[in-house]
């Protein structure tokens, strides 16, 4: 089947590559010509495990191409996936101008029936606006459908998530649209055995915001519980284990830490709060999810201040920049907050991250970056763990202690065992564990 995917960001590129991998013929469109040129040279604009090899293979086998021409994309296939960015606007609501632009441009070039599928995360009822826009820009009375097919992939696991999804949600309002999407997903359903869930468009749009906000809520919940643990001497990991064995709760997303970050949770929770407000419902539960996430960073920062007394001129080693391991993405990463706060307090910063460091360095060149972990912690007054990279867990604790000026560690991701660190002579603080 021929498929066009508009937008070669995280979702678009992975979706396009995976559709070609399962046998479809895919044309990816992006209006950023530089990005298209990069992709045509088989250089990836993002880091994602297995992506480069998959793109290379499918380009070489003739199933995957890239172009900056939306007209070509419209002519290529009657099914067009819209995977352009929906960045947060000034007050947190999703900025839908890229989605609107695709709707307009596709309508202008359409000469026959097309199905436009929203893959980007959009607020509920976006399809209504999209349909109105397309109707206005159509050159003739041509039939079309809009559908919603939200993406649930995680960074770092994007390819396995796309090829083996937990579910495929499709929001449609015509049989024709449903049949087309069933055909698109047939090879993925066959290999993964997952369910294709058919529903109305508004419900499909809502499923995405509701899912991500629920996961963020789970994290904020356990982080709030971690505060009570610290006040009572309980251990949040034991509590999470005890909770997670209840199948109604489940063990996932109950890892207490310095809070969630990334390109999805902060943006999606914000957008969900805004759309709810606009619809006339104040989603106070989610506002508290955001508040707990903000406060968690501040709370961990207060541990640093308490331990150092004076932050100014202290040498601090920050281990991990990415918002989670396995990615070079530091959008909304907790590390960003700490780098800014610590720099403002006059600390000297040394940073280590196996893949996010080069990009981060371009934005914050004033700090010292080390490729070697032991070099990073050399003469440090305090070590701050921000991402649970396996390299950090594998550190030789005695060597670490010897290298530091004073053995103080603030572990924002509960990577280490408090007892082991204290026995080794560290002053050690983590989250929700004494
Ligand atoms: C998330 C959703 O999981 C995915 O379904 C959606 O499509 C996009 O958003 P992603 O942003 O890649 O994916 O990251 P995820 O692995 O979900 O982690 C998000 C953040 O939550 C990270 O900062 C992580 O460190 C944090 N987290 C996660 C916790 O603090 N505790 C947990 O128990 C789990």
CATH code: domain of residue 248: 1.10.1040.10
Percent of the chain with pLDDT over 70: 100
Together in a domain, 156 and 35:
yes
Give the Cα separation of 301 and 6 in Å (integer): 41
pLDDT tops 90 at residue 25: yes
The pLDDT confidence band at residue 94, using thresholds 50, 70 and 90, is confident
Q: Is 194 exposed, middle or buried (0-12, 13-18, 19+ CB in 10 A)?
A: middle
Measured in degrees and rounded to the nearest 5, phi and psi for residue 330 equal -120, 20
Q: In terms of residue numbers, what domain contains 185?
A: 2-198
Closest atom of ligand 1 relative to the 154 alpha carbon? 12
CB atoms within 10 A of CB 36: 20
Tens digit of pLDDT for each residue in 329-342? 999 999 999 999 99
| 151 and 215 co-located in one domain | no
264 flagged as catalytic? yes
Q: Whose CA is nearest to atom 16 of ligand 1?
A: 154
Angle at 404 between CA 403 and CA 409, to 5 degrees: 130
Q: Looking at ligand 1, which residue's alpha carbon is closest to its atom 14?
A: 154
Q: Which one of 242, 262, 290 terminates a domain? A: 290
Is the pLDDT assigned to residue 93 strictly greater than 90? no
Domain shared by 6 and 127, yes or no: yes
DSSP 128-148: HHHHHHHHHH-SS---EEEEE
Does 310 score more than 90 pLDDT?
Answer: yes
Nearest CA to ligand 1 atom 28: 253
Domain stops at, among 231, 258, 290 = 290
**What's the token pair of residue 363?**
């934005």
91 pLDDT more than 90: no
131 inside domain: yes
Q: Does 47 fall in a domain?
A: yes
Query: In this structure, is residue 160 part of a structural domain?
Result: yes
Classify strands 348-352 and 315-319 as parallel, antiparallel or unpaired.
Answer: parallel
| pLDDT at residue 359 greater than cutoff 90 | yes
Q: Per-residue pLDDT averaged across 387-404, rounded?
A: 97
Has residue 47 got a pLDDT over 90?
Answer: no
> To which H or E segment does residue 199 belong?
strand 196-199
Distance 217 CA to ligand 1 centre (A): 11
Number of compact structural domains in the chain:
3
**Would you say residue 204 lies in a domain?**
no
Crossing angle of the two packed helices 284-308 and 265-279, in degrees rounded to 10: 140
Q: Is a pLDDT exceeding 90 seen at residue 90?
A: no
Same domain, yes or no: 172 and 216:
no
Confidence grade of residue 149 (pLDDT, cut at 50, 70, 90):
very high
Q: State both tokens at 212.
A: 């991500």
Cβ neighbours around 125 below 10 Å, total: 15
188 and 318, same domain (yes or no): no
- Classify residue 399: in a domain, yes or no: yes
Ligand 1, atom 15: closest residue by C-alpha: 154
Whole-prediction pTM value? Answer: 0.94
Is residue 203 in a domain? no
How far is the centre of ligand 1, averaged over its atoms, from the C-alpha of 162 (Å)? 16
Q: Are 278 and 385 in contact (CB under 8 A)?
A: no
Q: Are 59 and 148 part of one and the same domain?
A: yes
In this prediction, residue 17 has a pLDDT band, given cuts at 50, 70 and 90, of very high
Average of pLDDT values for 261-287? Answer: 95
Q: Is the dihedral of CA 174, 180, 185, 187 positive or negative?
A: positive
Q: Which atom of ligand 1 is nearest to the CA of 262?
A: 11
CA 36 to ligand 1 center in whole angstroms: 28
Domain end, chosen from 290, 319, 344, is at 290
DSSP structural state of residue 299:
H
56: domain CATH number? 3.40.50.720
- Which pLDDT score, from 0 to 100, does residue 28 have? 98
- Within a domain: residue 434? no
From 18, 28, 229, 264, active-site residue: 264
Q: How far is 364 from 378, CA to CA, in rounded Å?
A: 21
Ligand 1 pocket, residues with Cβ under 6 angstroms: 151-155, 212, 215, 219, 253-255, 257, 260-262, 264-265, 323-324
Statement to judge: residues 313 and 418 lie in one domain = yes
Whether residue 89 has pLDDT greater than 90: no
Tell me the C-alpha distance between 357 and 321, whole Å.
7
Query: Which residue is it, tokens 């955001």?
Result: 290
Per-residue pLDDT band for 235 (boundaries 50, 70, 90) equals very high
């Amino acid at each position: 089947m021929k498929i066009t995917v508009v937008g070669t960001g995280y979702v678009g590129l992975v979706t396009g590559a995976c559709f070609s991998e399962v046998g479809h013929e895919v044309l990816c469109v992006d209006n950023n010509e530089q990005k298209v040129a990069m992709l045509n040279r088989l250089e990836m604009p993002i880091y994602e495990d297995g992506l480069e090899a998959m793109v290379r293979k499918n380009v070489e086998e003739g199933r995957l191409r890239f172009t900056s021409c939306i007209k070509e994309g419209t002519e290529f296939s009657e099914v067009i996936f819209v995977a352009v960015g929906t960045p947060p606007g000034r007050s947190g609501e999703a900025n839908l101008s890229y989605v609107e632009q695709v709707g307009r441009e596709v309508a202008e070039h359409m000469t026959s029936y097309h199905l436009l599928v929203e893959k980007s995360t959009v607020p509920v009822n976006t399809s209504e606006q999209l349909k109105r826009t397309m109707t206005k820009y159509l050159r003739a009375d041509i039939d079309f459908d809009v559908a919603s097919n939200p993406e649930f992939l995680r960074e770092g696991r994007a390819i396995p998530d796309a090829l083996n999804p937990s579910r495929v949600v499709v929001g449609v309002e015509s049989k024709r649209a449903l049949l087309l999407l069933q055909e698109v997903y047939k090879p993925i359903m066959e290999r993964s055995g997952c369910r294709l869930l058919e529903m109305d468009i508004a419900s499909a749009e809502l499923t995405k915001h509701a899912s991500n906000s629920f996961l963020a809520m789970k994290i904020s919940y356990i982080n709030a519980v971690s505060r009570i643990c610290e006040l009572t001497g309980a251990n949040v990991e034991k509590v999470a284990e005890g909770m997670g064995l209840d199948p109604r709760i489940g063990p996932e997303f109950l890892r207490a830490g310095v809070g969630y970050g990334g390109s999805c949770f902060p943006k999606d929770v914000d957008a969900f709060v805004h759309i709810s407000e606009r619809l006339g419902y104040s989603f106070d539960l989610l506002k508290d999810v955001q508040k707990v996430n903000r406060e968690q960073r501040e709370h961990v920062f207060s541990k640093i201040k308490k331990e150092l007394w004076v932050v100014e001129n202290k040498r601090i080693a920050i281990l991990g920049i990415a918002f989670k391991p396995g990615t070079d993405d530091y959008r909304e990463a907790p590390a960003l907050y700490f780098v800014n706060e610590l720099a403002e307090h006059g600390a000297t910063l040394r940073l280590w991250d196996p893949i996010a460091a080069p990009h981060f360095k371009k934005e914050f060149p004033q700090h010292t970056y080390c490729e070697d972990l032991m070099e990073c912690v050399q003469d440090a007054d305090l070590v701050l763990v921000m991402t649970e990279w396996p390299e950090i867990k594998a550190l030789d604790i005695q060597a670490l202690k010897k290298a530091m000026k004073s053995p103080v560690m603030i572990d924002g991701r509960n990577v280490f065992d408090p007892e082991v660190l204290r026995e080794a002579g560290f002053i050690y603080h983590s989250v929700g564990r004494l």
